[in-house]
Amino acid sequence: MSTESNDDVFSGEHALSNASSTMEVFEYDPLSTEEILSKVPITARNGGGDSANVAQLRMSVRNMGDLLNHASSELDHWQRKCESLEREKQELTLEKASLKAAIEELKVQCEEMSKLEEHIEMIEGENAQMKREIEALRNEQQSAFVYQRRIINCQNEALRKAELAQKEAKQICDILEEVRKQYHSEIEKHRETMRKFLDLKMKYDQDMRQLEEQFSEAELKATTQRRGYEQRIKQLQDELRTRITAITSSTYTAESEHSRNASKVDNQL
């Protein structure tokens, strides 16, 4: 009887140690459900009551692990969605940089147009100079036929240059008009891109807020369940200590009774 009592005490201490280890695993690694379950002892003493409680505890721990794994899957899903939005944001940033480069190129073209305008002004200055020369030749027309021919030649050259200048001026005006249209078109595209970017950013911020709210709710629920499981484990430990104490006391009483009976028999003999 003494040997069986000692075995019961050893089994009770071993179960208490395993229950403490279970709390440590639960506290530091709540997702390792199988490890927690492997550390919870299953015994069938005193009518099987402990076995039923432990089985219920194992089922509760498994449910909590499933819940946390589900929350982890949801978190991975939203993280992938955030990464997709981030890639779209980077694409929009690259498109913005491309538009900026196009605007810079248009600025360069505008500078070239400005140079062409300066050239036109120079041609106009030359035309004014030619007109002054023509006027001088007209004053000398009566004195010599040579001067008259020279005036005619100068007039023809001036007209030719004037026509050429007019054609160049028209081409420049057409180019400027085309550049203006292209510039406004690029600006409108940039505005549309910025509107899309702002819409995506607003949707990204909204998704992030919803994700944070869902994660907070899941974390609060998991914390509440964990506290309940910790209280239940502590209760089972207290009950186990009480039973161990009762078994130890009954063993000591039985051994004392056995010693007294043996002494009586020896005295009778």
CA atoms within 13 A on the CB side of 74: 18
Residue 72 lies in a domain: yes
Got the DSSP string for 197-212?
A: HHHHHHHHHHHHHHHH
Identify the DSSP state of 40. Answer: S
Structural domain contains residue 259: no
- Structural domain contains residue 262: no
Q: Are 154 and 130 in contact (CB under 8 A)?
A: yes
269 in a domain, yes or no? no
* CB-CB contact of 89 with 200 (8 Å): yes
What's the pLDDT at 183?
84
Report the alpha-carbon distance of residue 119 to residue 139 in Å, rounded. 30
State residue 4's pLDDT score. Answer: 41
Q: What is the dihedral of CA 69, 70, 75, 81, to 10 degrees?
A: 130
What is the model's pLDDT at position 263?
A: 64
User: Whole domain around residue 170: which residue ranges?
Assistant: 10-251
Rg of the Cα trace of the chain? 49
How far, in Å, CA of 169 to CA of 113, rounded? 11
Gap between the Cα atoms of 159 and 1, Å rounded:
136
Q: What is the pLDDT of residue 13?
A: 40
Using CA atoms, how far apart are residues 66 and 215, in angstroms rounded to an integer?
Answer: 15
pLDDT tens digits for range 58-87: 787 778 777 878 888 888 888 888 888 888
Per-residue model confidence (pLDDT) at position 56: 78
Per-residue pLDDT, 144? 66
pLDDT score recorded for residue 255 = 65
Predicted pLDDT of residue 11: 40
Q: What is the pLDDT of residues 230-267, one digit of tens each?
A: 888 888 888 888 888 877 777 767 666 666 666 665 56
User: Could you tell me if residue 21 is inside a domain?
Assistant: yes
Q: How many Cα atoms within 13 Å fall on the side-chain side of residue 36?
A: 27
Q: What is the DSSP string of 105-134?
A: HHHHHHHHHHHHHHHHHHHHHHHHHHHHHH
Residues in the chain, pLDDT under 50: 1-33, 36, 40-49
The answer to whether residue 256 is domain-embedded is no
Domain count for the chain: 1
The one-letter code for the residue type at 161 is K
Q: Which two tokens stand for residue 186?
A: 């690029």
